[in-house]
Homo-oligomer: A and B are copies of this chain.
Amino acid sequence: MTTRRPSSVHIREVGPRDGFQNEPEHIPTEQKVRLINALASTGLKRIEVASFVRPDVIPQLSDGVEVLNRIDVPGDVRLMVLIPNSRGLDNALKVREKFHEAAIFVSASETHNKKNVNRTVGETMADNEKMAARIKGEGLDCAAVIATSFGCPYEGRVALERVLGLAERFAEAGATEIGFGDTTGMANPAYVTEFFTAALDRLPGVEVTAHFHNTRGQGLANAFAALEVGCASFESSFGELGGCPVPPGSTGNIATEDLVSMFHEMGVETGLSLPGLIDAARAAQDVLGRKLTSHSIVAGPVNWN
């Protein structure tokens, strides 16, 4: 079997935003700060830490500015915030010096986009194009995320061409990274192989990022499939935290520590400390007061001695 497997990958930790967002009980700001600081000490250079969504929509993330103000991370850690709309961008830019990357997003499926942000894909993209210009104008990196890229729980299949067409619009608008989200865990490794082969071919000069959920246990199989065709950028969530606000019951992202365990065992470099990530996930487990579903926090790293 031929492979385009990269020798090293970038991993963005999204637990403090994508993960925490799905927690029903409010997590005290000081605990969020402590966990982000712990993550930032593992070698992670990319962390999504806050969202500028309306506080009444996602109360869990209403302390985003306070989190940004209080965290203490190494100078080379790039912090990302999620921006749902122009009003959110207005608020984010009030603390513009506190982060480095802004993520804008759309759902590839019309129905999911409507349920998620109550706008059409066309309306969302028009706003996204304006936001991308403003983000670039501020000297920030603009990343775009396309949710339900591999299937929609309401509409079923989403055409590859539709997803790549949205990606090309984002790239033209100035996004330098595009993340493809398997929001409700409908991707499979065969389609992932086809998808990322096409995406990497069609988006030269853009960082192509894979964002998988482990809804049906296939998350790492999908990550391996993407890796094998040359994908070198991944998003994951410590402790396997996460999900999606719609539909209810959508389960977690792939666990950062399980992803890193697999990559390290394969000889793919991440620059991260697996024991450190496991410690951070165990700390999150203590804060949340329930057993998390990550495997590595139970099994630990493979011991080859």
* Interchain CA distance A258-B267 in the complex, whole Å: 26
In-complex Cβ contact of A215 among B2, B151, B221, B295 (8 A): B295
Measured between beta carbons, the chain B residues less than 8 angstroms from A262 are 188-189, 216-218, 221
Q: Which of A34-42, A59-67, A160-168, A296-304 contacts B (4 or more CB under 8 A)?
A: A296-304
* Interchain CA distance A127-B145 in the complex, whole Å: 59
Which residue of chain B has its CB nearest to the CB of A230?
Answer: B1
**Are B2 and A217 in contact (CB-based, < 8 A)?**
no
Given contacts A216-B296, A266-B190, A302-B186, contact A228 B261 (CB under 8 A): no
Given contacts A215-B299, A217-B294, contact A156 B305 (CB under 8 A): yes
What would be 23 A-B contacts, judged by CB atoms less than 8 Å apart? Answer: A1-B1, A1-B2, A1-B3, A1-B4, A1-B197, A156-B303, A156-B305, A186-B302, A189-B266, A190-B265, A214-B295, A215-B295, A216-B296, A216-B302, A217-B255, A217-B261, A217-B295, A217-B296, A218-B258, A218-B261, A220-B221, A221-B262, A224-B224
Q: Give the copy number.
A: 2
In the complex, chain A residues 1-26 whose Cβ is within 8 Å of any chain B Cβ = 1-5
Cβ-closest 7 pairs across A and B:
A188-B265, A217-B295, A217-B258, A190-B266, A221-B221, A156-B304, A220-B221
Which residue of chain B has its CB nearest to the CB of A304?
Answer: B156
* Interchain CA distance A9-B151 in the complex, whole Å: 25
Cβ of A271 within 8 Å of any chain B Cβ, yes or no, is no
* Interchain CA distance A255-B298 in the complex, whole Å: 18
Measured between beta carbons, the chain B residues less than 8 angstroms from A294 are 217
* Interchain CA distance A302-B154 in the complex, whole Å: 11
Cβ of A153 within 8 Å of any chain B Cβ, yes or no, is yes
**Are A216 and B295 in contact (CB-based, < 8 A)?**
yes
Measured between beta carbons, the chain B residues less than 8 angstroms from A268 are 190
Measured between beta carbons, the chain B residues less than 8 angstroms from A125 are none
**Are B304 and A151 in contact (CB-based, < 8 A)?**
yes
